[in-house]
Amino acid sequence: MTSYEKYCACTRLAKESAAKGGFSPEKIRVLAVTKNQSAETIAELYSNGLREFAENRITVLEEKAKTLPSDISWHFIGKIQSNKVRKVLKLSKILHSVDSLELLRRIDRIAGEEGVAPELFIEVNISGEESKSGITSAELPALLECPLSCARIIGLMTMAPFDSTAEEQKEIFSTLKKLADSHDLPELSMGMSNDYETAAACGSTIVRLGTTLF
């Protein structure tokens, strides 16, 4: 099975899971995480109609972007270092890992200087796992109340612990969904290769898949 065929199969499963959870299948989309893949692999998926891809290292993204079509919509899903914000904004339209008020303000300021309008996900550490980045639920209002000139917060992102059970995953994802709803945020970036069906059933609008596709 090719990566594109896997993408189609995963998309079908994600939509079915969303429907079972009582959510609109049309609101969920599969994001191909290509951090360990070659530009040639991405080009093959592009030729089949995919236009959204995700990377977690800006140096790798810079190299790939040089040879790939300019109409690709790059998502940045890695930790954003303050000194790399400008480079990230020059290539990525959607950032999934904003994890502090200071970073949010810096992104908005540099976005204005670069003349771009990035869409942002605030990363929330729902599980409380120390190895995970992200703010606490209590810290979220301060970020949402921050005045922004160019950037726009569109939703929340989280990750469940890799070794979590299905029930634990469901609790984490459902909690983030309730948090997003309470702040009228329409987008949820949650669910990866090992738990995307559970995330879809809990209201995710973007699932981030790497190993399942490749």
User: 166 is in which domain, residue-wise?
Assistant: 3-209
Q: Answer whether residue 214 is part of any domain.
A: no
State pTM to two decimals.
Answer: 0.95
Report the C-alpha gap between 52 and 29 in whole angstroms.
10
Q: Answer whether residue 61 is part of any domain.
A: yes
Q: CATH code at 53?
A: 3.20.20.10
Number of CB atoms found within 10 A of residue 14's CB:
24
pLDDT in tens, 110-167: 999 999 999 999 999 997 777 678 999 999 999 999 999 999 999 999 999 988 999 9
Q: Answer whether residue 14 is part of any domain.
A: yes
Number of domains, the chain: 1
Q: Answer whether residue 174 is part of any domain.
A: yes
Q: Tell me which H or E stretch contains 175.
A: helix 166-182
Number of CB atoms found within 10 A of residue 63's CB:
13
* DSSP one-letter code for 166: H
pLDDT in tens, 37-91: 999 999 999 999 999 999 999 999 999 999 999 999 999 999 999 999 999 999 9
Report the C-alpha gap between 49 and 102 in whole angstroms.
37
Name the token pair of 26.
């049309």
Q: Answer whether residue 135 is part of any domain.
A: yes
Q: Answer whether residue 126 is part of any domain.
A: yes
Are 156 and 124 a contacting pair, CB within 8 Å? Answer: yes
Q: Answer whether residue 8 is part of any domain.
A: yes
Q: Is 30 helix (H, G, I), strand (E, B) or coil?
A: strand
pLDDT in tens, 173-206: 999 999 999 999 999 999 999 999 999 999 999 9
Name the token pair of 130.
């120390």
Q: Is 195 helix (H, G, I), strand (E, B) or coil?
A: coil
Are 121 and 144 a contacting pair, CB within 8 Å? Answer: no
